[in-house]
Amino acid sequence: MPYYVPPKTDTERLNFLRTAAQTTAIDYANSIEYISRDTFMELESFLPQFDEAFLDVAETFGQHNKEVAEREEALDKLKQVIDDLWEVVRRRIRRQNEPVGVLRFYYLKPDGSEPNPGSLDGWFDLAEDMIAGDADAVAAGYAAAVCPSAVELAAALTSARKEAADVIPADEAHDRAQAAIDALRAQADELIDDVMEELRFHLRKEEAASQRRVMRTYGAHFAYNPGEPRDMDDVEA
C-alpha cells in the first residue's frame, strides 16, 4: 500500500504549507471543512514568516556564492600576476647574466622553483613579500620588475583582499538566514502534522485511495513499494 512521505526539505515544507492553505480556502468556499478554522488561521499566519525566511536563505546563499566566485577570480588574477612577474625576473636574469641570488628578492629558490602557499593568506603574504623584495632589489642596484611591475602586483593584491573581505559579511548574512529558518522548522513540521491529522480524521471513513487523492490536493506525497501500481490520480514523477 502507498505510504505517506513527510516533507524533508524546506522547499517541500513550503510547498506543502502553500498547497494546504490554498486548498483549504477553496474547500471552505465549497462548504467543505477538512481543516479546522484554527489550523487554517495558523497556516495563514505562519506561511508569510516561513516564506520570507526561505527566500532569505536562497537570496543570501546566492549572494554568498557570488562573493566567493569573485574572490576566487581575484585570487586567480593575483596568482597570474605573481607567475608573470617571476617569469619576467627569470628571463631578465638569464638575459643580463645577473646572479641567481636576485631570485631570492622574489622568493624564488636558486633553481628557480616557486613557493606554493596553501591558503588565501599565504598568497597575500607572498605577494606582500615580493613587493617588498622588488624594492630591496632596486636598493641593491638591480632593475625593478616590469610587465608586470610591483605596482601591478600591489593592485592585484588590493583587489584580491577586497574581494576576500566581501565574503565575510555574505557568510554572516547567510548564517543568520539559516538560523532564522532553523528556528521555524519545528513549527512548520508541527503544522504539517496537524493538517495531516485532521485530514486523516475527516477522511477516515473513505477508501484508502480516496483518502490519498484528497490528501494530495493538500500537498501530501506518497511513495510506493516495489512493483506496486500507482494511484490513478497520482501524476508525480
Where do the structural domains in the chain lie, given as residue ranges? 3-223
- The contacts of residue 50 (CB under 8 Å, 6+ apart) are 13, 14, 17, 181, 184, 188
Question: What's the pLDDT at 169?
Answer: 98
Distance CA 194, CA 200 (A): 10
Using CA atoms, how far apart are residues 34 and 197, in angstroms rounded to an integer? 10
- State the cell numbers at 186: 519545528
Picking from 58, 49, 51, 47, the residue whose alpha carbon sits closest to that of residue 192 is 47
Task: Specify the pairing of strand 3-4 against strand 222-223.
Answer: antiparallel
Among the listed residues 138, 157, 143, 22, the one whose alpha carbon sits nearest the alpha carbon of residue 79: 157
Sequential pLDDT tens for the chain (237 residues): 899 999 999 999 999 999 999 999 999 999 999 999 999 999 999 999 999 999 999 999 999 999 999 999 999 999 999 999 999 999 999 999 999 999 999 999 888 789 999 999 999 999 999 999 999 999 999 999 999 999 999 999 999 999 999 999 999 999 999 999 999 999 999 999 999 999 999 999 999 999 999 999 999 999 998 888 888 776 664
Contact 35, 82 (CB under 8 A): no
Q: What pLDDT was estimated at residue 113?
A: 84
pLDDT digits (tens, 9 = 90+) for 66-78: 999 999 999 999 9
- Would you say 57 and 174 are in contact if contact means Cβ atoms under 8 Å apart? yes
Residue with cell 536563505: 57
What is the per-residue pLDDT for 236?
63
- Alpha-carbon distance 128 to 146, whole Å? 17
Strand intervals (E) in the chain: 3-4, 222-223
Q: Classify 207 as helix, strand or coil.
A: coil
Looking at residue 112, what is its pLDDT?
A: 73
16-44 pLDDT, tens digit each:
999 999 999 999 999 999 999 999 999 99
What is the total residue count of the chain?
A: 237
